[in-house]
Amino acid sequence: MTSCRPGRAKQAPRNTTAPAPGARPQRLPWPNEMDTAGMSEVNWVVRDQRDTLMRDLAADICARLHGAIQQRGIAFLAVSGGSTVKTLFPLLANTPIDWAHVRIGLVDDRWVDEFSADSNERLVRELLLQNKAVDAQFVPMKTPHASPEAGVAQRNQDYAALPWPCDVMLLGMGEDAHTASLFPCSEELGRALTTDDVVVAVNPTTAPYARMSLSLASVINSRYIVVLTCGASKRAVLEAALKDGPVADMPIRGALRATAPCAIYYAP
């Protein structure tokens, strides 16, 4: 297991030109190499009701996707799974933008059958790729391979071909401050924080299932980062993560310290 080493994070400004198909996103400095002097300010969007929060977030995401299509002819949305997005996804799916020009990828997924209740791919297909969003092009993470280690080369190629930087990176966060499948002190965390690979195989010690996840370099290679979370306990974790400390202890810090604009969407 890798040790958690102290360090502070800042990502250098990134090249906003999308790579050619098949090219890897530009290697970005990893958070423990740098201090926090150049990170962007994190904007809190707080609503009393979760339904209101989801409506406002859906409008924000779709406005940014529409703007990307108007400017570049294509938009890229990366989404997380979990219970919180079950209200958000149908709102997105019913918003009238040019979804045929939107590419959708996952932030992470468990190595389970695509029909499993624990599959993020299933969540996207059943709740997001519907109605007005049915023509969006989706790239899943799960492959037919027996393990994420066996499938990671294929998905690195597939995800590198997406139109980076990501226009909207939609993240969640666990009580242990993990985001994507970047779990504190997991055996693969050190590599996930440092690699220039787009995706990594992860075997968390504190959560079920092997997984595939975006690397931190991919998470922060974004034009806009959203952390969506609800509940007082999650707010306390975020407030702690916004303080100084090692990214390896609280991986959500890597996203919060990115130079891209970052918003925390929160409701009690």
pLDDT digits (tens, 9 = 90+) for 4-55: 332 333 333 333 333 333 333 333 333 333 344 456 789 999 999 999 999 9
20 within some domain: no
pLDDT tens digits for 158-208? 999 999 999 999 999 999 999 999 999 789 999 999 999 999 999 999 899
Q: Is the residue at 192 inside a domain?
A: yes
Does residue 142 lie in a domain region? yes
As a whole number, the mean pLDDT across the chain is: 88
Asked if the structure places residue 166 within a domain, the reply is yes
In a domain? residue 102: yes
pLDDT at 39: 63
| Domain contains 261 | yes
Please indicate, yes or no, if residue 25 is contained in any of the structural domains. no
pLDDT of residue 121: 98
Range of the domain at 127: 60-267
pLDDT of residue 230: 97
For residues 240-258, give the mean pLDDT: 97
- Number of separate domains in the chain: 1
pLDDT at 266 over 80: yes
| CATH number of the domain residue 242 falls in | 3.40.50.1360
Q: What number is the average pLDDT over the span 244-248?
A: 96
Taking only the tens place, the pLDDT of each residue in 81-113 is 999 999 999 999 999 999 999 999 999 999 999
Rounded to whole angstroms, the Cα distance separating 90 from 139 reads: 19
- Considering the entire predicted model, what is its pTM? 0.86
**pLDDT tens, position by position, 61-70:** 999 999 999 9
Task: Determine the pLDDT at residue 32.
Answer: 39
